[in-house]
Amino acid sequence: MRPLRALLASSAALVGFVQAASLAELAAELPACGLTCLGTAIAASPCTLANSTCICTNTVLLQSAAACLATACKPKEQLQVAKIQQDGCGGPVESHQRQLRIIGHLFCSLAAVSILTRIWSKLKILHKLYPDDWVMIIAGVALIPFWIILIRIIDLGLGLNLWDTNLDTLDEFFKSFWVEEIIYINLLAITKVALLLFLLNVFPVQYLRATCWTLIALTVGIATSFTMVTIFSCSPIPYFWTRWQGEAGGKCNNINLQTYISAALNIAQDFAILFLPMPELYKLQVSRKKRIQLFLMFGVGLFVSITSIVRLKTLVKFGNTKNPSMDYTTLVIWSVIECNVAIICACMPSIRKLLGDCFKSSFFASTVKTNPSSSSATRSGDPRVYQSRSFKIESRLRSQHDDFHELVSMSGVTGGDYHLDHGSGKSNSLPKEEGQ
């Protein structure tokens, strides 16, 4: 058994530790198969059962005992022997649980605050919510069980070696992990759909809209497919959280392979969404401050994509390890960061707008140069895109039957002045007036 071998091999360095109890005193707690294997290995070595130091540092003895345990004992019995051997040799309990709790609470809190700030911003400034906002509310609802189950998994032993966990709650540990996987898949998908809906509202360009809808359909389809694949990873389904016991009566798919495929598709979606608006953003004529703001937002988006790639490297042992409670630590950390930073990225435009509204002289404020004369801020047809125009209304002598009124733009964003013929409803170009 790999966990036991790793533990027994590391015991050679434990000579300097104060031993908690001798192996002779702990021998009564060993399962029958473990006592037999350990007795056989000790008999073939120069050590005695009372000499804990010799047993803990004799490499040949440890390797012989590990080989015997791997074939003679069931997984649960092997874990019991490993725990007794660790206690007998005075080995320390390795734990990453504090680190996991800090990262979990920190990033989930930031994501939750981002969603709440986004909704508050929309209601405060626009007085209504749009489809992408409602989708982000759904993401916020999904974040709650994701957060709760994450902490529960840590309490059940994530971040500890498997033999240091409570063996009586290992079924619950693996079942909770299974549920967390399903929530993770859908939470990421919901966040991506919200981002794509945001792009739909901001960029009315036809080709981009068609691409957004295509990506939304693909995102929903992929998430649905892998949700079903994860649910039915093992047959029967409960075998997913009971197979660690080594009992027959079930089989599982190649979980490692399906997870790699899911992660690869996830990375492809990340980069597709990240680069989708780039051509339109390149055309924007904006100030340096706005360019920095855009860089920050897309920098966070790029970080999410990089996080997905880093997470891909942690999948090597997923589904193929005998010590999952410890080996999945890094995987869970990067998964938590990926999900929550994606949510934060999706909320950044609304947070920037709120900060700019609250702190008008700050870095986040939107500044538009206007003519000192009369001016009015108008919205474009899209509620997300704001434009500022200044107008001068000229009154000229006309026939009493003439319903023509001319509006001359002082700083039109279209680059030229225009007038609107109310009689025809058509916009007509005018030559620029001298001095303007």
pLDDT (tens digit per residue) in 112-150: 999 999 999 888 888 889 999 999 999 999 999 999 999
**pLDDT for position 23:** 54
Nearest to residue 1, comparing CAs of 25, 24, 33, 27?
33
Residue by residue, DSSP assigns 295-308 as HHHHHHHHHHHHHH
Neighbouring CB atoms inside 10 A of 71's CB total 9
Contact present, 349 and 386 (Cβ < 8 Å): no
Q: Which of helix, strand or coil describes residue 94?
A: coil
- Full set of structural domains in the chain with CATH: 2-88 (no CATH), 97-358 (1.20.1070), 375-429 (no CATH)
**What pTM was computed for the model?**
0.75
Beta strands in 177-273 (DSSP E): 234-235, 251-252
**pLDDT of 232:** 95
The two three-digit tokens of residue 320, written as one number: 């193929």
3-state SS, residue 411: coil
pLDDT of 221: 96
Question: Which contiguous run of DSSP H or E holds residue 207?
Answer: helix 206-231
Low-confidence ranges of the chain (pLDDT < 50): 1-21, 361-436
pLDDT score of 360: 55
The confidence score (pLDDT) of residue 172 equals: 96
Omega prior to 3 cis, within 30 of 0 = no
Cis peptide before 92 (omega within 30 of 0): no
Q: How is residue 94 written in tokens?
A: 């390795």
| Integer Cα distance of 31 and 34 in angstroms | 5
Sign of the alpha-carbon dihedral angle for 135, 116, 331, 192 = positive
- Supply the pLDDT for residue 87: 82
Cα–Cα separations (whole angstroms), residue 325 to 38, 95, 254, 261, 422: 26, 10, 19, 23, 72
Position 152 scores a pLDDT of 97
Secondary structure letter of residue 399 according to DSSP: -
Q: 6-39: per-residue pLDDT in tens?
A: 444 444 333 333 343 455 566 677 888 888 888 8
H/E run at residue 376:
strand 375-379
In angstroms, the CA 369 to CA 431 distance is: 22
Strands 251-252 and 375-379: unpaired
Instruction: Please tell me whether residue 242 adopts helix, strand or coil conformation.
Output: helix
In 3-state terms, what secondary structure has residue 420? Answer: strand
